[in-house]
C-alpha cells in the first residue's frame, strides 16, 4: 500500500531501491507517528473537518495501536511502504471511511518531520539521562581518588603532577559542556512542523498553534517552507551534539587503553571485564575501550556524513532526506551503548596507589621546586634556570608532595561547583513540559 499510488504499478526494481531500509527505520518512528496523528485529528475535529464521533473512534483506535507498539507487537506488513501507510491502513480496515480522513491537511513530508522531531526529542532526553549517570559516577570516583597522585603529560612526556581525581573530574566537567551543546540541538528540534504539509501550507484553516500545544512543542516552525528546510539541518545539529559526547568518550577510552598498558600500569579492571588472547595466556585486553574508541570515531564523522548528504540541495523536499534516518537513528543507540559500557568500566576501575613515589617520576616535581624558590623571593626566570641546571648536573632534589589550592587544581577540585553546573544545564531542558502534554494526549 502506498498513500500516493493511483493506477500505475511502479517497477519492482525502482520500488526496492527507493524504499531501501525505510521500513526498518520507520519502526523507530512508530510511536511518534501515532502521537502526531492523535494531535492532528484533535485539531481537525476542532476546525470541523472531523465530527466529534469520528474523532473519538479514530482517537481510541490510534491509542490502541500505540499500546501495541509499546508492547512490541506492532509490525509493518509486507508491501506496506512506511509507518504512515501502515497506521492509515489499520484505521481504514477497522473504521472504514473515517480512517481515510486522517491525512487531510498534511503530507507525508510534515508527517515524517514531526515524527523525527518527536523521536529526536526523546532521544536527547535519554542521552541526557545517561550522560548524567556517567557524570555522577565520574564525580564520585574523582572525590574517591582525589589524593592519589598520577603523572600528568604534555606531548606524551612527563610534565607535572596530576591526580586520579583531577583526571576523572576533567571528563565529568567535559560532559557538562557536551550537555550544553545538546541544549541548542534540543531547542531546534522542539519546534512543531506539523501543518506545513508538503512545504507550502494548506488551504484548510489548520490550527498549528493547537497541535504545537498538544504535542508539547516549545514553539512552531512558523514559515512552512522553512519547516521543510529544517529537514537535514535539525539532524545535522543533533549529530554535532552526539559527536561532542563521542569525542569525550573517545579521549577517555584512549587514556584508559594507555593507562592499562603494563608500561604504565596506572589502572586495572577485573578479569571478567577484559578479554584474552588465543595464543598469549597473560593478556588482558582493553577491548571495551577500544570498541568505544572506534564507535566514537565513527560518531564524530556523523555530522560530516549528514552534511555531505544534504549540502547541495535547494529548498523543498528531496528523497535524499530519507537516508538521514539510516545514519542518525542507529547512532543514538550506539552512543547510548557506549555511555553504558563506559559506566560499567569506570564503576569497576582499580587504581595504583603511591605511583609518584617511584623515582622515575621525580622530574614531575621540577615545577614544584621552581615555585618554592619563587615563593622564597627568587625571580621566576632565575628559579627556572637554577632548577634546570640542577637537573642537567644530576643534582636535582625534590619533595613528592604537592600543595595546589586554587580553583580546579589537585587540592581544590570544585566538584560541587561542577555538579551544580550540570544540574543547571539539565534543568534548562524542561523535559517535564512535553511529558505532561503527551500524557494528556494519550488519556
Per-residue pLDDT tens digits for 245-266: 999 999 999 999 999 999 999 9
For 120, 395, 437, the CA distances from 195, given in Å and listed in that order, are 19, 78, 18
Domain that holds residue 267: 119-144+162-194+222-357+413-442
5 pLDDT higher than 70: no
- Kindly state whether residues 174 and 96 are assigned to the same domain: no
Which three three-digit cell numbers place residue 166?
Answer: 583531577
Best CA proximity match to 250, nearest among 293, 308, 310: 293
As a whole number of angstroms, the distance between CA 188 and CA 429 comes to 12
Per-residue confidence (pLDDT) for residue 21, from 0 to 100: 79
243 pLDDT higher than 70: yes
Q: Each residue of 315-356: pLDDT tens digit?
A: 999 999 999 999 999 999 999 999 999 999 999 999 999 999
The answer to whether residue 376 sits within a structural domain is no
Per-residue confidence (pLDDT) for residue 284, from 0 to 100: 84
279 pLDDT higher than 90: no
Report the pLDDT averaged over residues 26-55.
Answer: 97
Whole-model pTM? 0.92
- Kindly state whether residues 179 and 267 are assigned to the same domain: yes
Q: Each residue of 174-206: pLDDT tens digit?
A: 999 999 999 999 999 999 999 999 999 999 999
The residue written with cell numbers 595466556 in the block is 281
- Kindly state whether residues 46 and 132 are assigned to the same domain: no
Looking at the chain, the whole-number percentage of residues with pLDDT higher than 70 is: 97
Q: What is the mean pLDDT of the chain?
A: 94
Best CA proximity match to 50, nearest among 38, 61, 41, 62: 41
Per-residue confidence (pLDDT) for residue 285, from 0 to 100: 86
Q: Is 401 left (phi over 0), alpha (psi -120 to 50) or beta?
A: beta
- Kindly state whether residues 244 and 326 are assigned to the same domain: yes
Is residue 275 classed as helix, strand or coil in its secondary structure? Answer: strand
- Kindly state whether residues 187 and 242 are assigned to the same domain: yes
Per-residue confidence (pLDDT) for residue 4, from 0 to 100: 44
- Kindly state whether residues 86 and 124 are assigned to the same domain: no
- Kindly state whether residues 291 and 324 are assigned to the same domain: yes
The answer to whether residue 39 sits within a structural domain is yes
- Kindly state whether residues 316 and 168 are assigned to the same domain: yes
Best CA proximity match to 248, nearest among 130, 396, 358: 130
Which one-letter DSSP state was computed for residue 318? Answer: -
Cβ neighbors of 136 (< 8 A, separation 6 or more) are none
Per-residue confidence (pLDDT) for residue 277, from 0 to 100: 63
Paired residues of 219 in beta bridges: 191
Residue 403 contacts residue 411 (beta carbons within 8 Å): yes
Report the pLDDT averaged over residues 367-371.
Answer: 94
First-to-final CA distance of the chain: 30
The answer to whether residue 348 sits within a structural domain is yes
Which three three-digit cell numbers place residue 135?
Answer: 557524570
> Is residue 6 very low, low, confident or very high in pLDDT (cuts 50, 70, 90)?
low
The answer to whether residue 114 sits within a structural domain is no
Report the pLDDT averaged over residues 41-56.
Answer: 97
Per-residue confidence (pLDDT) for residue 17, from 0 to 100: 77
Report the chain's C-alpha Rg in angstroms: 28
- Kindly state whether residues 54 and 167 are assigned to the same domain: no
- Kindly state whether residues 94 and 170 are assigned to the same domain: no
Which stretch of 54-58, 277-281, 409-413 has the lowest confidence by average pLDDT?
277-281
CATH number of the structural domain spanning residue 37: 1.10.275.10
As a whole number of angstroms, the distance between CA 126 and CA 129 comes to 5
Instruction: Please count the structural domains in the chain.
Output: 2
Per-residue confidence (pLDDT) for residue 8, from 0 to 100: 63
Which three three-digit cell numbers place residue 146?
Answer: 582525589
- Kindly state whether residues 50 and 186 are assigned to the same domain: no
DSSP 9-37: PPPHHHHHHHHTTHHHHHHHHHHHHHHHH
- Kindly state whether residues 301 and 342 are assigned to the same domain: yes
Per-residue confidence (pLDDT) for residue 2, from 0 to 100: 52
Best CA proximity match to 321, nearest among 18, 6, 40, 9: 18
Q: Is 391 left (phi over 0), alpha (psi -120 to 50) or beta?
A: alpha
Other CB atoms within 10 A of residue 436 CB: 11
> Is residue 78 very low, low, confident or very high in pLDDT (cuts 50, 70, 90)?
confident
7 pLDDT higher than 70: no
The answer to whether residue 281 sits within a structural domain is yes
401 pLDDT higher than 50: yes
The answer to whether residue 371 sits within a structural domain is no
280 pLDDT higher than 90: no
Domain stops at, among 71, 101, 131: 101
The answer to whether residue 108 sits within a structural domain is no
The answer to whether residue 367 sits within a structural domain is no
Q: What is the b/e burial string over 346-360, where b = at least 16 CB atoms within 10 angstroms of the residue's CB?
A: beebebeeebbeeee
CATH number of the structural domain spanning residue 232: 1.20.200.10
The residue written with cell numbers 544545564 in the block is 425
Length in residues, the chain = 443
Amino acid at each position: 500500500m502506498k498513500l500516493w499510488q493511483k493506477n500505475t504499478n511502479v517497477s519492482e526494481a525502482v520500488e526496492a531501491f527507493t524504499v531501501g531500509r525505510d521500513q526498518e527505520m520507520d519502526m523507530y518512528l512508530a510511536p511518534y507517528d501515532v502521537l502526531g496523528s492523535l494531535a492532528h485529528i484533535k485539531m481537525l475535529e476542532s476546525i470541523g473537518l472531523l465530527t466529534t464521533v469520528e474523532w473519538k473512534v479514530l482517537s481510541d483506535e490510534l491509542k490502541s495501536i500505540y499500546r501495541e507498539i509499546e508492547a512490541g507487537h506492532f509490525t509493518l506488513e509486507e508491501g506496506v511502504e512506511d509507518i504512515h501507510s501502515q497506521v492509515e491502513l489499520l484505521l481504514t480496515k477497522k473504521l472504514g471511511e473515517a480512517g481515510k480522513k486522517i491525512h487531510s491537511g498534511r503530507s507525508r513530508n510534515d508527517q515524517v518531520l514531526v515524527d523525527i522531531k518527536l523521536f529526536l526529542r526523546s532521544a536527547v532526553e535519554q542521552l541526557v539521562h545517561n550522560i548524567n549517570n556517567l557524570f555522577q559516577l565520574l564525580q564520585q570516583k574523582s572525590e574517591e581518588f582525589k589524593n592519589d597522585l598520577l603523572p600528568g603529560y604534555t606531548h606524551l612526556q612527563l610534565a607535572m603532577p596530576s591526580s586520579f581525581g583531577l583526571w576523572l573530574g576533567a571528563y565529568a566537567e567535559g560532559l557538562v559542556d557536551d550537555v550544553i551543546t545538546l541544549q541548542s540541538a534540543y531547542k531546534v528540534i522542539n519546534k512543531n512542523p506539523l501543518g506545513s504539509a508538503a512545504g507550502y501550507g494548506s488551504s484548510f484553516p489548520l490550527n498549528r498553534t493547537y497541535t504545537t500545544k498538544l504535542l508539547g512543542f516549545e514553539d512552531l516552525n512558523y514559515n512552512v517552507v522553512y519547516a521543510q528546510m529544517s529537514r537535514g539541518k535539525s539532524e545535522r545539529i543533533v549529530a554535532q551534539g552526539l559527536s561532542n559526547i563521542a569525542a569525550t568518550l573517545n579521549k577517555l577510552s584512549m587514556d584508559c587503553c594507555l593507562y592499562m598498558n603494563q608500561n604504565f600500569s596506572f589502572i586495572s579492571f577485573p578479569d571478567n571485564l577484559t578479554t584474552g588472547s588465543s595464543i598469549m595466556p597473560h593478556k588482558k585486553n582493553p577491548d571495551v575501550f577500544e570498541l568505544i574508541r572506534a564507535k566514537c570515531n565513527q560518531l564524530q564523522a556523523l555530522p560530516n556524513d549528514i552534511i555531505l548528504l544534504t549540502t547541495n540541495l535547494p529548498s523543498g523536499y528531496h528523497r535524499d532526506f530519507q537516508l538521514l534516518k539510516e545514519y542518525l537513528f542507529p547512532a543514538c543507540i550506539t552512543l547510548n551503548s557506549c555511555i553504558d559500557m563506559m559506566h560499567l568500566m569506570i564503576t569497576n576501575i582499580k587504581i595504583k596507589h603511591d605511583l609518584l613515589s617511584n623515582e622515575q617520576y621525580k622530574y614531575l616535581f621540577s615545577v614544584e621546586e621552581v615555585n618554592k624558590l619563587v615563593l622564597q623571593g627568587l625571580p621566576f626566570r632565575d628559579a627556572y634556570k637554577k632548577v634546570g641546571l640542577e637537573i642537567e648536573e644530576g643534582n636535582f632534589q625534590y619533595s613528592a608532595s604537592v600543595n595546589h589550592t586554587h580553583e580546579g587544581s589537585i587540592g581544590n577540585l570544585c566538584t560541587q561547583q561542577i555538579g551544580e553546573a550540570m544540574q543547571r544545564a539539565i534543568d534548562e531542558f524542561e523535559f517535564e513540559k512535553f511529558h505532561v502534554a503527551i500524557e494528556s494526549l494519550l488519556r
